[in-house]
Amino acid sequence: MKRPAVLFAMLIAFSTRAVAAVDYTKDIKPLLKERCVSCHGSVKQKGDLRLDAGALIEKDTHAELIKRVTSHDEDERMPPEGARLTQSQVGALREWFAAGAPFPSDEVIPKKPSEHWSFQPVMRPKVPKSASKHPIDAFIFGKHEPVPQASPPALLRRIHLDLTGLPPTIAEQDAFTHQSHPSHKSYESVINSLLTRPAYGERWARHWLDVVRYADSNGYERDAEKPFVWRYRDYVIESLNHDKPFDRIVVEQLAGDELPDRSLETHIATGFLRLGHWDDEPADPAADRYDQLDDIVSTTGQAFLGLTIGCARCHDHKFEPLATRDYYSLVAIFNPLERPRKGRTELTVPVDGTEVYTWREPSAKAPETHVLVRGSPTRFGDLVEPGVPVILAKQQFAFPKPTDKTTQRRLGLAQWIASTNNPLTARVIVNRVWQQHFGQGLVTTANDFGLMGAAPTHPELLDWLAHWFMHDAQWSLKKLHRLILTSRAWQSSSVEQRASSEGQRAKSGGSNPAASSSRSDSDSLPSALSPPLYRYRRLEVEAIRDSMLAVSGQLNPKRFGPAMKPGIPAAALEANTDKEKVWQASDEREASRRSIYAFIKRGLVVPMLETLDLADTVSSCPQRQVTTVAPQALSLFNGDFVNQQAKHFAARLKREAGDDPAKQITLAWRLALCRELTADELTKMQAFLREESLEQACRVILNLNEFVYPE
């Protein structure tokens, strides 16, 4: 028989184990995060209460918390919205409190929003000591050996496609490969040459048009064409080709009409503000007015600052240090704008005699702006003055004084965004350029640098680049391209990376694809360094289409002006509900212009463009999706456009190579894939031509993975 003292000790031990059965990490922290932290976390602390870390939950609040979560008083109960906590959830809290509210000693306490990395001033870290003289490689590789470089022919094609969206011609290939040993200077010479070509602006303007939600029509039911909106597209192309400093581009797009040196060009730049979709007959005009302002504020926040400020329209942002008052302070900056229209018809603004698609400020006197309670245009709250998010400006700056024509509010905002003191603008644009070159940004959420966005994989590299971009490069995008493309990180061999990935997959027996894909880079590098290496990925649809036109000899070099209108397949026309408003296709010569000049109708996107992942045009697109679906294969193999180009491609081969099948295929390989074909490839293609026509062989070549991938 056990002694009473022993029994008592066992009872105490059992009771302690029973109470401690509730686990903080598994049971309590997820509950607090889901139901409490949005009001009582690092971003907001209602009632000066934080519940986002165990160390912050003080003992004297335990009883009050239980009282609140069990209260039947709607003014007191917590959480104030949504379903009440269940009995089991309340029971778990009680048990955890009864056990002394234990939590892991190594639990990380979330930083205050003001301490978030992207809100800190951009500082210039020291370049790490490295065998490499290139600063990017020094940050990425450190003392490790750089990964193998891509082969010269593959790298030449990659550079051309990356900067211009077009493959190198045979003459360009020969000029490069005739050098006995292509060197760093050889590649730099090619890069410099391509950056001077008009094709560079046509290629890279499309990336920016994705970010600013560009389209040629308004969307909604009638989806009317936006008059002269193409002038904005041409402005972006010209600005990039002339290497206009990015800080100047920012100011022109937000306030080109308010600049002291304003011109027709700077007025056209403000078309940025009017690119959004527009309902020409809204059910609620007042709500529609604020929807249009919301489109401008949201796009401005995402495009230039990498902030999801639009989420604060109806209430303080749940997860970011952005208050509703911050949102409406930005609305106050754009509220003086008026959309020129006559009924359902959009009007342009006359500037120096040509017509410009933009907003206008009809008066230098700004209307009052109020916080809209719950976002309702009928419920006015506090009056707000123009300003920028408090988290980014410890002290609000003074806006320029109004002139006799405009309020100058947008100019004040633009100058603040483009300032070297702004911690976000340079980081955001540098990351966008990096993303387009590498396939993934140093920050993978290109439109979200806030608390909920991804942390940078290489924060010191990002800050070095941002500081260098502002101070050394003087906001020059061409200098940034040159710096990135001359790095070994960008010139790394994707073939070597894929081989390493396949080797890892073989070692794992192919049973864990996730494990093998995470080791896609050289084993000599730390795993954390994998994102900054060049990623093997499919070309965007515009580069695929333009490359087909280039190798078939049909590419029309005509630049600028009204959009060309590609043909629409009959099946797509039949599926359209309003056939009378489908455009009349341009003739073949006009339709053979580069894809950036194609008419983008929000309600009817050209099937080939849509199937191959054209950007969403309703809101800012930070990065295109890359899908793999059956209709893509059908579009590329059976589509009218591809078959038409295969026919032209075959005709070109006959003209330039004669009737010899071997010469035809050799030329086709050089034009399309930018390399010599192997003996095995020649044998197989000759066998194919004995059964099929040259046109069919060209169709096959245009469908090769090697054609639609950079290498």
Q: Is the peptide bond before 110 cis (omega within 30 degrees of 0)?
A: no
Query: Does pLDDT of 442 surpass 60?
Result: yes
Q: How confident is the model at residue 318 (pLDDT cuts 50, 70, 90)?
A: confident
The model's pLDDT over 108-121, given as tens digits with 9 standing for 90+, comes to 888 888 999 999 99
Query: Does pLDDT of 523 surpass 50?
Result: no
What is the pLDDT, as a whole number, of residue 86? 92
Q: Which residues on adjacent β-strands are paired with residue 556?
A: 593
* Alpha carbon distance 453, 447 (integer Å): 8
Residue with tokens 């101070």: 471
Q: How confident is the model at residue 519 (pLDDT cuts 50, 70, 90)?
A: very low
Q: How confident is the model at residue 51 (pLDDT cuts 50, 70, 90)?
A: very high
At 474, the amino acid letter reads: Q
The model's pLDDT over 599-646, given as tens digits with 9 standing for 90+, comes to 999 999 999 999 999 999 999 999 999 999 999 999 999 999 999 999
What is the pLDDT, as a whole number, of residue 43? 81
- What mean pLDDT is predicted for residues 518-530? 38
The model's pLDDT over 370-421, given as tens digits with 9 standing for 90+, comes to 999 999 999 999 999 999 999 998 777 889 999 999 999 999 999 999 999 9
High-pLDDT (> 70) share of the chain, %? 91
Query: Does pLDDT of 501 surpass 90?
Result: no
Query: Does pLDDT of 425 surpass 80?
Result: yes
Q: What is the value of pTM for the model shown?
A: 0.88
What is the pLDDT, as a whole number, of residue 508? 44
Task: Kindly state the DSSP code that residue 25 receives in the 8-state scheme.
Answer: I
The residues, ordered by sequence, that sit 6+ positions from 146 with a Cβ below 8 Å of its Cβ are: 132, 137, 488, 489, 492
Q: Which residues on adjacent β-strands are paired with residue 45?
A: 40
The residues, ordered by sequence, that sit 6+ positions from 584 with a Cβ below 8 Å of its Cβ are: 565
Rounded to the nearest 5 degrees, what angle is found at the Cα of 462, between the Cα atoms of 148 and 190? 50
Query: Does pLDDT of 17 surpass 90?
Result: no
The model's pLDDT over 165-199, given as tens digits with 9 standing for 90+, comes to 999 999 999 999 877 566 778 899 999 999 999 99
Helix (H/G/I), strand (E/B), else coil: 138: helix
* Alpha carbon distance 702, 645 (integer Å): 9
Query: Does pLDDT of 466 surpass 70?
Result: yes
- Higher pLDDT: 579 or 463? It is 463
Let me know: does 234 contact 560? Beta carbons within 8 Å: yes
Query: Does pLDDT of 520 surpass 50?
Result: no
* Alpha carbon distance 199, 168 (integer Å): 12
Per the document, the length of the chain is 711
Rounded to the nearest 5 degrees, what angle is found at the Cα of 227, between the Cα atoms of 221 and 231? 130
What is the pLDDT, as a whole number, of residue 581? 67
Residue whose C-alpha is closest to residue 490's, from 674, 710, 672, 194: 710
The residues, ordered by sequence, that sit 6+ positions from 230 with a Cβ below 8 Å of its Cβ are: 216, 560, 561, 562, 563, 597
Distance of alpha carbon 468 from the chain centroid: 22
Rounded to the nearest 5 degrees, what angle is found at the Cα of 259, between the Cα atoms of 258 and 261? 135
- What mean pLDDT is predicted for residues 329-333? 97
- Higher pLDDT: 110 or 435? It is 435
- What mean pLDDT is predicted for residues 269-283? 95
* Alpha carbon distance 103, 486 (integer Å): 50
Helix (H/G/I), strand (E/B), else coil: 708: helix
Q: How confident is the model at residue 530 (pLDDT cuts 50, 70, 90)?
A: low
What is the pLDDT, as a whole number, of residue 3? 55
Query: Does pLDDT of 125 surpass 60?
Result: yes
Q: Which residues on adjacent β-strands are paired with residue 149?
A: 492
* Alpha carbon distance 48, 37 (integer Å): 12
What is the pLDDT, as a whole number, of residue 337? 97
The model's pLDDT over 504-514, given as tens digits with 9 standing for 90+, comes to 445 444 433 22
- Higher pLDDT: 583 or 332? It is 332
* Alpha carbon distance 521, 147 (integer Å): 8
* Alpha carbon distance 363, 6 (integer Å): 88
What is the pLDDT, as a whole number, of residue 180? 58
- Higher pLDDT: 164 or 513? It is 164
